[in-house]
Amino acid sequence: MKKLIILFLIISCVQNFQVVEKVEKEIFLQLMEKKHPLIDLRTPEEFVKGHIENALNIDFNSPDFSAKISKLDKEQHLLIYCSAGGRSSKAASLMESLGFKKVYELKEGYRNW
């Protein structure tokens, strides 16, 4: 019985840990205050028209996106956004598969900003 309880606790802990979390603007702002790296996944043209202050632009549609994103510290918590959420969702999945420990995605993207 004791082993069963321990196994249940381990499974519960693993299931509750999410690598990728889609968060509302208010939570995203709180995370920004902690100085986590901020990545804008839109094109350079979109970025120039307006972006969140201190964001690094890494274009998700660029052929070398995987190589560029892989150079980031996988142990750091990262904040990502795109225009509306489509690219950031795909990027977040890729980042999880690459071994990133924690990725926060801005719900509804820059349009929600």
Q: Look at the chain and report how many structural domains it folds into.
A: 1
**Is residue 101 within 8 Å of 19, Cβ to Cβ?**
yes
The pLDDT of residue 8 is above 50 = no
* Domain-located, residue 49: yes
CB atoms within 10 A of CB 100: 22
CATH number at residue 46: 3.40.250.10
Per DSSP, the three-state class of 17 is coil
Q: What is the pLDDT of residue 6?
A: 56
The C-alpha atoms of residue 41 and residue 56 are separated, in whole angstroms, by 8
* Domain-located, residue 91: yes
Domain that holds residue 24: 19-112
| pLDDT band at 17; cut points 50, 70, 90 | confident
| pLDDT band at 108; cut points 50, 70, 90 | very high
The pLDDT of residue 43 is above 70 = yes
* Domain-located, residue 3: no
Q: What is the mean pLDDT of residues 32-36?
A: 95
Radius of gyration of the chain (CA): 16
* Domain-located, residue 13: no
Q: What is the pLDDT of residues 56-90, one digit of tens each?
A: 999 999 999 999 999 999 999 999 999 999 999 99
The pLDDT of residue 41 is above 50 = yes
Average pLDDT score over the chain:
90
Global confidence as pTM: 0.84
Burial of 77 (0-12, 13-18, 19+ CB in 10 A): middle
Q: What is the pLDDT of residue 15?
A: 43
* Domain-located, residue 46: yes
* Domain-located, residue 108: yes
